[in-house]
Amino acid sequence: MIVYFETLGCSRNQVDSEIMLGKLAAAGHTPTRDPACAEVIVVNTCSFISAAADEAVDTILDMAQYKQQGTCRRLIITGCLAQRYKDDPDLTGTLPEVDAFVGTGACEQIVDVVEKKASVPLTLFPDPDTRGFQNLFVDRVLSGDPFAFVKVSEGCNRHCTYCIIPTLRGRQRSRPMEDIWVEALTLVKKGVSEIILTAENTTDYGQDLGNDTDFCQVLENLSSQVAAVNPDVWIRFLYTHPVSVTQKTIHTVKNHNNICSYYDVPIQHADTTMLRRMGRPYTQKDLYDLFSMIRDIDPDAVLRTTVIIGFPGETDAMFTTLLDFIQEVKFDHLGVFTYSDASDLVSHALQNHVPQDVAQLRHDTLMAAQEKISEQINQKHVGRMYPVLVEENPEPGLFIGRTMFQAPEVDGVTFIYSEGLATGAFVQVKITDAFAYDIAGEVADGRFANRPSPTADENMKLPGSGHE
């Protein structure tokens, strides 16, 4: 069968799609990038917030058109939207175009679902806690980007009142450390230039193992093993939790050149009463102490955070507390979300829901403040030189890349005025211009790490068996 995957949502979903495509390719099916020539279309969905659920339904309806017009004979829905509405009696009736609904715990059974083995019912929702870890002998089909995500754990043991993820992805299960290293090294040997560790909470790694295994061990060993294969390759980790970023974490990062001093620490708010209502187990003082500790130990550290605006009970005073905090700490990168209510959230039952227009005004006020901060920080890069990972070549004479202080898909980029660079290569760039979110510059010297990253087509023709 020719199979097309449309992936929505977070990096964990991206990895799941690459794993499922790898399994299908290993079973003899052919991945394609063109839905118009697919016999089977899989939409791997997200439903973290209502906007994501709406996008998922729109995408499903778009893909369903290929059943009328194209060669598509089977439309399959996987991921969090399917899981979230698994008990909804109208699920199949609401989307009659869909041939199978597969929960987050059933990625391993994707081949049976695609091959429609008689034993497979229309809906498949095993308990997410029962989902095992991926089989390392089956190559993922990568997206072709010079970076690749690597999961360190599944699920989450925390109970934030606005979040449905523990219900959708199950309890935290940390992967065997060796599996993380083996997978990362396999990717590096395939030409990947940046390994990005991901999870619901990367720094909570090991807390469910009942021994003293922790995230620093993952980082420490991964850093030396990757450097032994290719010292240029970057290691980044995203989605930490404020209470599990420790002094040890910061020293581990500081002591390894190939680990990005990049701290993605979602705080969600900075008003202590608000944090309590959100189920976040820290105070405003804890946050001040954390970010001071990071900057004291590692002055070059880059800080990213995300916050939720308009959470039930948020007053003007609480919003001002958050605004003051953001203007004082001066994050390099900030993501701002307005609260997304839903009846299956604990927070739904809280009093004093904030009107949408008030929440939107607060959102815009905070974004405007951050834009100034971001531009001031970017101005400091002018005249400096940084290694940049080349990612795109949108037009002759212009390349787009990222520095160690720019994460993919969420942060600004670096524009490089040059010719003949290779995507996936690292070049030294002297920064000449700075904008609100992006920077720009010229190649500083002739040093090219001309190591092309795996092209999408190369990956598509994969897989085959095993890792080295």
Q: Are 299 and 271 in contact (CB under 8 A)?
A: no
Rounded to whole angstroms, the maximal C-alpha distance in the chain is 64
From candidates 13, 59, 201, 459, binder to ligand SF4 by CB under 6 A: 201
The CA–CA distances, whole Å, from 372 to 41, 201, 310, 431, 437 equal: 43, 29, 22, 19, 10
* Cβ at position 298, least distance to ligand SF4 in Å: 24
Which amino acid, 254? Answer: K
* Nearby residues of 279 by Cβ (< 8 Å), 6 or more positions away: 158, 159, 160, 161, 162, 346
Least separation in angstroms between residue 175's CB and ligand SF4 is 17
Would you give the distance in Å from CA 434 to the centre of its chain? 26
Q: Which of 124/334 has CB closer to ligand SF4?
A: 334
| Residue with smaller CB distance to ligand SF4, 3 or 80 | 80
Q: Is the Cβ–Cβ distance between 402 and 388 less than 8 Å?
A: yes
How many Å apart are CA 172 and CA 153, to the nearest integer? 7
Q: Should residue 165 be labelled a site residue for ligand SF4 when binding is judged by CB under 6 A?
A: yes
Pairing label, strands 74-79, 147-151? unpaired
Least Å distance between CB 362 and ligand SF4? 20
Instruction: Indicate whether 200 belongs to the interface with ligand SF4 (CB under 6 A).
Output: yes
- Residue 353 binds ligand SF4 (CB under 6 A): no
Residue 19 CB-half CA count within 13 A: 25
Q: Does the footprint of ligand SF4 cover residue 345 (CB under 6 A)?
A: no
Q: Which is nearer to ligand SF4, 158 or 190 (CB)?
A: 158
Cis peptide before 176, with omega less than 30 degrees from 0? no
CB-wise, 200 or 264, nearer to ligand SF4?
200
* 276: contact with ligand SF4 by CB under 6 A: no
- Residue 163 binding ligand SF4, by CB under 6 A: yes
The piece of 162-170, 252-260, 320-328, 358-366 that touches ligand SF4 (CB under 6 A) is 162-170
**C-beta of 91 vs 156, nearer to ligand SF4:** 156
Do 6 and 43 contact (CB within 8 A), yes or no? yes
Contact 41, 63 (CB under 8 A): yes
Q: Are 19 and 134 in contact (CB under 8 A)?
A: yes
In the complex, least distance from residue 345 CB atom to ligand SF4, rounded to whole angstroms: 11
Tell the smallest beta-carbon distance from residue 122 to ligand SF4 (Å). 29
Q: Does residue 73 belong to the site contacting ligand SF4 (CB under 6 A)? A: no
Residue 160 within binding range of ligand SF4, rule CB under 6 A? yes
CA dist list (Å): 83 to 20, 53, 87, 188: 17, 12, 9, 33
In whole angstroms, the minimum distance from the beta carbon of 242 to ligand SF4 comes to 10
The reply to whether 391 sits near ligand SF4 by the rule CB under 6 A is no
Of the pair 41, 345, the CB lying nearest ligand SF4 is at 345
Distance CA(427)–CA(278), nearest Å, equals 43
Tell me, what DSSP letter sits at residue 380?
T
Distance CA 88, CA 123 (A): 12
Q: Does 281 bind ligand SF4 (CB under 6 A)?
A: no
Nearer to ligand SF4, 23 or 131 (CB): 131
Tokens of 308: 């939720």
CA-nearest of 281, 305, 290 to 249 is 290
Among 70, 166, 281, 313, binds ligand SF4 (CB under 6 A): 166
Report, in Å, the least distance between residue 166 CB and ligand SF4. 5
By CB under 6 A, which span of 17-25, 153-161, 298-306, 356-364 interacts with ligand SF4? 153-161
The stretch among 3-11, 163-171, 319-327, 350-358 that binds ligand SF4 (CB under 6 A) is: 163-171
The answer to whether 124 contacts ligand SF4 (rule: CB under 6 A) is: no
133 exposure class (CB count in 10 Å sphere: 0-12, 13-18, 19+):
middle
Indicate the residue among 13 and 453 with the shorter CB distance to ligand SF4.
13
| Binding-site member from 116, 158, 430, 467 for ligand SF4 (CB under 6 A) | 158
* Residue 156 makes contact with ligand SF4 by CB under 6 A: yes
Give yes or no for a contact between 118 and 96, defined as CB atoms under 8 angstroms apart: no
Q: Report, in Å, the least distance between residue 49 CB and ligand SF4.
A: 11
What is the binding site for ligand SF4 (CB under 6 A)?
A: 156, 158, 160, 163, 165-166, 200-201
